[in-house]
Amino acid sequence: MNPQILQQQIDSIERSGVVAPPNTWISSYVVTKKSGKSYRYYRLMTHRRDEEGKLKKKMLKYLGAEDSKAYKKMVAAIKRRNRIQALQRQLLRLMAQGQPQPRRRSRGSSAVNSPLTTSDRMLLVQLQQQLTELMVRFEQFEREMKRMQNSSVKSS
């Protein structure tokens, strides 16, 4: 399959609606009322690493019951995300097959002006997403440190 066609499919899916964030899933839980009737509710979950490096689950958004709009929209968003990820993997495999093995450059050559390939762009996008996530975590860390400093000043 042609890399341009795969990229067009990815772009089309992205334009068709909201795409779920990476590393998220829908989790369900059951609430049993005093009458004995059980109700199933859903929430959007993610995971993060704590200070010791262990994975911890975190709820991002309450989605409600199975017939709620929020739940249905998130199911569709996760399907779009999964389809995009599958197409990106296919695109990376295709690009890896189509590219010749890297040759050693002579001392005088430079890659400064070489154009970005589709796989380079995808890697750049992934790097930008990771950088954004890192910045968000750093800002959260700074806020937590300020909060801890403020609470220690108040207790002194």
Residues 141-155: pLDDT tens digits?
888 887 788 777 766
pLDDT at residue number 31: 95
pLDDT at residue number 86: 92
pTM of full prediction above 0.85 = no
Give the model confidence (pLDDT) of 32-70 as tens digits.
999 999 999 999 999 888 888 888 899 999 999 999 999
Q: Which helix (H) or strand (E) holds 150?
A: helix 118-155
pLDDT at residue number 124: 72
- In this prediction, residues 60-85 reach a mean pLDDT of 95
Q: Which helix (H) or strand (E) holds 8?
A: helix 3-16
Residue 123: band (very low, low, confident or very high) from pLDDT cuts 50, 70, 90: confident
44 vs 99: which has the higher pLDDT: 44
The mean pLDDT of the chain is 83
Question: Where does 36-117 have alpha helices with state H?
Answer: 69-98
Q: Are 43 and 27 in contact (CB under 8 A)?
A: yes
pLDDT at residue number 94: 84
